[in-house]
Amino acid sequence: MMTLGEGHKEGITPGEEQITSDIEHTLKLATEYALSSIRSDGHWCGELRSNVTITAEYIFLRHALGLDLRTDNAAYCRYILSQQNCDGSWGLAPEYPGDVSTTTEAYLALKLLGTSPDMPAMQQARAFVLKAGGAEKVRVFTRIFLATFGLFPWDAVPQLPVELILLPSSCPINMYTLASWARGTIAPLLIICHHQPVYALPEDYLDELWLDPTDKNVPYGSSLRDLLSQGDITGLAFSVVDNLLYYLNGLRSVPLLRSYARRKCIQWILERQEPTGDWAGIFPPMHASIYAFVLEGYELDDPPVRLGIQALENFAWEDEKGKRIQACVSPVWDTALMSIGLCDAMSPDKQILQQAITWIRNRQLLKPCGDWRIYRPKLAPGGFSFEYENSHYPDVDDTAAIILAQLKQDPQSVASDSVIAAATWILGMQNPDGGWAAFDVENDKLFLNKIPFSDMDSLCDTSCADITGRILEAFGLMMKRELKRPVLSPMLRHACIRGITYLASTQESNGAWFGRWGCNYIYGTSHALCGLAYYMEDDKRVSGLVAPALQWLKSKQNDDGGWGEPLLSYRTPGTQLQQQSTPSQTAWALMGLLAHLPLTDPAIERGIRWLICSQQPEKGNGASWPEAPNKMMDFFPIFNRARPATVPTDKVVPLRYWDDLDYLRRLCHDFTFRFDDVLDASKLDAALARLTEIGNWGQLGARLRLNDQNRLEYHIPAEYTKARPAYNFTTNEYGLRISEHALGKQLPKAGQDQSVLSPSPAVFAPIVRHPDSPRKLADWIYTDRPQLHIHVSVFQDATLVTVSYVHTLFDAIARTTFFKAWIAVLRGREDEVPPFIPFEHDPLRTLGTEAPVKPYSNFGRALSGLSLVIFGLRYLWELLWYQKEEEHPIRLPRRCVERLKESARKELAAMSPDNEAKAPFLSEGDVVMAWWVRTIITALNPAPNRTIMVMNVFNVWALLEEWFPTGGAGFIGNAFFYSYTLLVASQVIQDASLAYVASKNRKALMEHRTKEQVQALTSMQRASFTRTPPVVGDANLLFMACTNQHKARYFELDFSAAVVAPGVPLSERPHALGRPSYINDIETCQGYPTRNVVRIIGKDAAGDYWLLFKTRPGAWAAIHRQLVALLELDEQK
């Protein structure tokens, strides 16, 4: 791991000064958080996450032993349900598809906890299991758990004779040829399978998960005939032995031998129990060993059982998601890595670092015990384990990390007894292939994975690149610190040469390395690169290994600058998949790159920028990086995910007809006001809370649900509580000026310089929305969250207020209605809050149901049949060909708008030289929209004869005012429809006439914005299969869309009642106290392609218009050139 201090800070160039400053500030915040989260005795320990089987199996154990579960029943259920995938399943890992065994275990656990099988989540789980082939498809370990409850026949479980414990270590197959984690689990399983216990549940307790519950004696592997035909001789041999053991009753017919084997097995297990009750520090052997002792006659109060249960309970972790059991705890690992991080960040708190290193050193395992000694009896101990207590299973990876931590904290420790003992032990654990494994040496009998009870291929602990890379790094740093031990130094060099040979033999053809203990190719490649960095000059092979690895890492960098790789890459080895960037994987990638490349390398700079911008303040001190949430739901249609249970007291109301449209479901917004003032977040919260108590405004807290007819409905709570609030309200206080924040300083503001393009609104997500803010419809309908999530980010001189919502809630005008009502309460003017039109009242419910008085004016040009198919295919082709769209905000200065409007007026006058009075009226909005059309068409440069269809949005409140109570003043919903302007590309590009475009648009708007035309349009929309508006023009048309939100008057909203102090002096800005200076609107589209779109956000206090352009990336250079030319012309004038 290279540090800025070691490799890059000296001789820094002026161009690097800014990013260096941002890095130092980011590290300062991260250090503050790290120091605030340390345990009282000087160590760190975070949560170790796993799938739900660990918690489910703990519930099985407690039920089997008759232990009470009522106290934590709800917490366990809440956690298990929170991990359910959208298709009703549970998976082995976050990005993995559903797994029938994991789902069956979760289902049984929930049922034991009292969850009704009729609950939607259970119904979805049951459907998944049956679709996957039923409970008969579960793996061997799940069969054993089900068999202990009488839900699976023991005859359908492979034979595990206890006599296996008696086989000597010299035998090709014995306990010690199994990986440590398998060894510790199989020993108690031998006892369990001998007793074949049945803690009886009703015989039909899980029959609903079977395709044929009358025949449960299903085979657990391929038949002998199939194995023979497949040529699987090893699998065939093991299956023959298993069948033979079955006919010999598992060797139970030799009672004296069986009795002796049981005693030896229990003795073996007892010898490995820690004083704290743990076995190997991991859940599976601890869980199984408790079963084994109870079956052998031990009471619950006997020390091995009592301590074992307590040790499991020590693995519990509880938070807002619920309660679960960790598979392990990781204090030594966490403390070692945190110490390395703090040293690399040059933390000034030397005392805490010394305390952490001392805490680690005190856990070095120096007694001659441990299974590793079976095959290395003369090797001196010196390793470290992962957990608090695990004296029998130190691991090489932890030990190497601790060497690094000690050397970075104190270079002189290279000669310490602790480092020398650790390095000597690692040297003795090197495999013949030159690599290192985690716990054992020469544990590479891969044929053992053919044993019938090994259906997860996890019985061996072989060499791996990530551990080998870390050891090369540790040994390289030792030799760099001028180790002067005449005996040890040559041994280190020789071991490193062999380690490099191993890495050379395992490098993928594309340059990457597989990562065994971290996900996955990014992790393996990073650690290999960090290790190889110390040998570039001494070993000529290294440069040939490093170059393709660096190139591979760079090729996997995401567009946002970060790196991400899903766990699915383990499922298809050799296939490197990309996903959204994550902090850990970005950090790993940067570690590998920084070990070989300068800080100024573009890939490194972009990666660092991503980490800087994605850092989030913590509730305590400092800041950290939240890992990405579970993305599993994106693999399946959202309607398959389990829905929350209906609360009986909720009022259920279907969404209004024009709110529940498919394209509105797919659009979610994070709408942000930037204030150049410091606002009191508590006042904002209190005012909003009061608003929800006025009249029917509390309906804003309705929960979105998807019913069985795939229609959305509101579930309105009878009352709001802390557990079920009317809205979510979160805050972040940054403790610095917005210009001092790496991302905040890039956020546009009044008078924004347009000589360079401003970043996309989505870039600012880390500072404008909370990590738990909803992003898509599924985040609402499959949780009990309210519709609104308010997030307030407070700086020393600015405040960002964000409202996150799905478009089904309201349109732009109704959004302003909400803000005005909130502000009225904030100002103490509750009398100005209009009556809320209840959701059950739909003013537009009959719109489009009656036969239109006259047809829609564009009816003859509406695409249908073959022309619509051709258009769809062409549009899809363009989406696939250009793939991504890119969005940027544009500030169009007031003087430019005035000049454009004057130019358009003169052009209109020239069109009607005889009667200037007949020239049609043009608003500023018409001119701004026309400039956008001309600019983007010029940039896209379509064929001259291509039809351009511009879809404009307008609101019908004023048009249908009599339909709305109080003129629609308290209407929260959607009431917008469309006008279509048809143009020809040549007339836009060649004539370059603003007046032509603006007048055509004004004419279309006036023609379509009538009651008769709206009725005709909505009639067509109702008649369409997907209730989407028509597409008009021809099959070759270029689709464009414009929504002019200027009438929403966002920049005129006055939040001054919440202002604590101005952030920018009023004399230095155009906007009044408490008025927004900029609006950032992140629009997230789920499966609804939008391109060539402009959102005219509005006109600010300076008279400047703000627009959001979205189009393909290749057009932006031309768009920006036109904008700069416009600005330069304005300056000349």
Q: Which residues are catalytic, by number?
A: 397
Using CA atoms, how far apart are residues 609 and 1015, in angstroms rounded to an integer?
Answer: 51
C-alpha distances in Å from residue 787, one per residue of 656, 780, 836, 967, 1102:
15, 7, 16, 25, 34
DSSP β-bridge partners for residue 891? 1106
> Residue 82, Cα to own-chain centre: how many angstroms?
14
**Residue 836 DSSP label:** P
Classify residue 1052 by its DSSP letter.
Answer: G
How far CA 36 is from CA of 25, 229, 246, 612, 624, in Å, comes to 17, 62, 58, 20, 11
Single-letter residue type at 747 = L
Phi–psi pair at 362, nearest 5 degrees? -65, -10
Residue type, 921: F
Helix (H) or strand (E) holding 865: helix 865-882
Q: Name the residue among 554, 678, 605, 752 with its Cα closest to residue 22.
A: 605
Evaluated on CA atoms 1060, 612, 584, 341, the torsion sign reads: negative
Place of tokens 């807002």: 320
| Two tokens, residue 701 | 């807290």
Q: How many CB atoms lie within 10 A of CB 864?
A: 10
- Burial call 339-350: b when 16+ CB within 10 Å, e when fewer: bbbbbbbebeee
- Take residue 513 and report the two structure tokens written for it: 């390395």
Distance CA 662, CA 875 (A): 19
Q: Are 1048 and 812 in contact (CB under 8 A)?
A: yes
Count how many residues are written for the chain. Answer: 1133
| Alpha carbons 914 and 118: distance in angstroms, whole number | 78
**Contact partners, residue 445, CB within 8 Å, separation at least 6:** 172, 173, 177, 459, 460
Task: Report yes or no: 333 and 86 within 8 Å, Cβ to Cβ.
Answer: no
CA–CA distance, 567 with 628 (Å, rounded to integer) = 13
DSSP line for 972-1023: -S--EEEEEEEEEHHHHHTT--HHHHHHHHHHHHHHHSSHHHHHHHHHHHHH
| Residue 381 CB partners (closer than 8 Å, separation 6+) | 365, 366, 367, 368, 369, 370, 394, 421, 425
Find tokens 């009191």 and name the residue: 680
